[in-house]
Structure 1
Amino acid sequence: MLNQFSRTELLLGNEAMDALKNARVAVFGIGGVGGFTVEALVRSGVGSIDIIDDDKVCLTNINRQIIATRKTVGKYKVDVMKERILEINPQVNVTAHQCFYSAETAEQFEFSNYDYIVDAIDTVSAKIEMILRAQEKNVPIISCMGAGNKLDPTKFEVTDIYKTSMCPLAKVMRRELKNRGVKKLKVVYSKEPARKPLEDMSISCRTNCICPPGAERKCTAKRQIPGSIAFVPSVAGLIIAGEVIKDLCGVR
């Protein structure tokens, strides 16, 4: 019988679709990367999904985030994403966590409940905390390295963290994970050298912050505000979704 996943089933088969329907995936970070990851997971038939983010949609998100429109500015990202998920597939079991993942909030999440974890956040300490907990529970995890200040989406690769190069975030992660005894980690990263954002204060959040009222973490708190564009983080997010889907189905 035809349904919304019939075209996907032609590629993957019935058993794989059942595996996806019964899978529970957690996506940490619903931004330029994570939003597209969630979109693709849901459109591919994942039956249960946890979305984790404490941020609100900002006007400056519209250039790259799938949930960001003029109508959603000021709303919590997880609320907007949940509504979008259920519009795509009302049968999905969605759990929205309005939360910034860190060592302090980690106990709110039982990683053993997940079949796969996606790390789409950009805070090094939180990424490390998440990776260590996932590996402790033997839950597959894929981590996104830097997607900001890049212009070439064809430079993304899927590899082990210790095989990465060029990416400044990956360099830090290699060192920190090695110090903690982590032997391997699947990542998506770009070999493109990072570009330096223009130092133009007239278009910088540093001096012209427009974060929505009530935003927990403002852009001005960041050490550097990266430049971004629609066709780079989205590609990283779709690559991640592809890896998750193929791993859950055992398809290569």
Structure 2
Amino acid sequence: MLHEFSRTELLIGAEALKKLAASKIAIFGIGGVGTFAAEGLVRSGVGKFVLIDDDCICLTNINRQLHATRKTVGKPKVEAMRDRILDINPKAEVTTFQKFYLPETAAEIISADYDYIVDAIDTVTGKIDLVVKAKERNIPIISAMGAGNKLDPTRFEVADIFSTSVCPLAKVMRKELRERGVTSLKVVYSREEPVKPVESEETSCAMSCICPQGTTRKCTSRRQIPGSVVFVTSVAGLIIAGEVVKDIISRPHY
């Protein structure tokens, strides 16, 4: 009998689809990359999600974040993405944490029953700690490197972080992870040289902040806001989704 994932089943088979339906994926960061990763995963048949992000949807998110529309501005990102996931697959299980991931919140958020972690957060401290915690718990993880200030979606590659080049974020991560004894990490990164943002008084978050009410980390507290476009962030997110799906269905025992 045909069903919503029949076209996927034609490619990977019924048993692989069952693996995906039973998998629990935690996505840290529900923004430009994270929303498209979530979309790719739910449309591939993944059945269980944990969404982690403290932010609310801002008007400036509309240019690139899948859950951002005029109707959802001001809504917590995890709630908007949860609703979208359930619209696609009402049988999915979705747990949300409207929290900012830090070492202090790790114990509450990270669970041993995660089958995979997607790191789509944008703070170095959080990313490093998340990777270390995942490695300690033997939870597979894939990390998004910098997708901001990029314009060419064809320059993305999947690699171990210690084989990356060009990406400034990956350079920092390599150093910090090496100091913590982490010897490998699957990442999606771009070989495109970053574009210098063209900032004016009208486009500066520092001078013209419009973060919605309830935002806990306003853009005005950040040193620099990168430019970003949907045809770059979406590609990074969908590549991540593809890697997670391929890794899960290739496991010999589940």
User: TM-score, length-normalised on structure 2?
Assistant: 0.97
Residue aligning to 2:72? 72
* Structure 1 Cα separation of the partners of residues 6 and 46 of structure 2: 14
Question: Does the aligned pair in 2 maintain the 1:111–1:134 contact within 8 Å?
Answer: no
Deviations 1:44-97 (A, max 9, x none): 000101001010000000000000000000000011111111100000010011
Q: What is the CA-CA distance between 1:186 and the residue it aligns to?
A: 0.2
* Structure 2 Cα separation of the partners of residues 115 and 240 of structure 1: 15
User: What's the secondary structure of 1:232's corresponding residue?
Assistant: helix
Please show how residues 225-240 of structure 1 align to structure 2 within 5 Å: 225-240=225-240
Residue aligning to 1:109? 109
Which amino acid is the alignment partner of residue 11 of structure 1? L
Q: What is the CA-CA distance between 1:109 and the residue it aligns to?
A: 2.2
Residue aligning to 1:95? 95
* Structure 2 Cα separation of the partners of residues 159 and 234 of structure 1: 18
Residue aligning to 1:85? 85
Which amino acid is the alignment partner of residue 21 of structure 1? A
User: What's the secondary structure of 1:154's corresponding residue?
Assistant: helix
Residue aligning to 2:147? 147
Please show how residues 17-96 of structure 1 align to structure 2 within 5 Å: 17-96=17-96
* Structure 2 Cα separation of the partners of residues 111 and 143 of structure 1: 18
* Structure 1 Cα separation of the partners of residues 210 and 92 of structure 2: 34
* Structure 1 Cα separation of the partners of residues 29 and 230 of structure 2: 17
Question: Does the aligned pair in 1 maintain the 2:23–2:48 contact within 8 Å?
Answer: yes
Residue aligning to 1:158? 158
Q: May I ask how many residue pairs the two structures share in their alignment?
A: 251
Deviations 1:197-248 (A, max 9, x none): 0131221111000000120001111111100111001100000000000000
Question: Does the aligned pair in 2 maintain the 1:72–1:80 contact within 8 Å?
Answer: yes
Pair 1:11-2:8 in alignment: no
Residue aligning to 2:126? 126
User: What's the secondary structure of 1:216's corresponding residue?
Assistant: coil
Question: Does the aligned pair in 1 maintain the 2:97–2:109 contact within 8 Å?
Answer: no
Please show how residues 212-227 of structure 1 align to structure 2 within 5 Å: 212-227=212-227
* Structure 1 Cα separation of the partners of residues 129 and 101 of structure 2: 9
Which amino acid is the alignment partner of residue 132 of structure 1? V
Residue aligning to 2:176? 176
* Structure 1 Cα separation of the partners of residues 142 and 28 of structure 2: 11
Question: Does the aligned pair in 2 maintain the 1:111–1:133 contact within 8 Å?
Answer: no
Please show how residues 191-210 of structure 1 align to structure 2 within 5 Å: 191-210=191-210
* Structure 2 Cα separation of the partners of residues 215 and 138 of structure 1: 33
Unaligned runs of 5+ in 1: none
Question: Does the aligned pair in 1 maintain the 2:23–2:115 contact within 8 Å?
Answer: yes
Unaligned runs of 5+ in 2: none
Sequence identity percentage = 63
* Structure 2 Cα separation of the partners of residues 146 and 110 of structure 1: 23
Which amino acid is the alignment partner of residue 95 of structure 2? T
Q: What is the CA-CA distance between 1:130 and the residue it aligns to?
A: 0.5
Question: Does the aligned pair in 2 maintain the 1:29–1:121 contact within 8 Å?
Answer: yes
User: What's the secondary structure of 1:231's corresponding residue?
Assistant: helix
Q: What is the CA-CA distance between 1:110 and the residue it aligns to?
A: 3.6
User: TM-score, length-normalised on structure 1?
Assistant: 0.98
* Structure 2 Cα separation of the partners of residues 11 and 112 of structure 1: 30
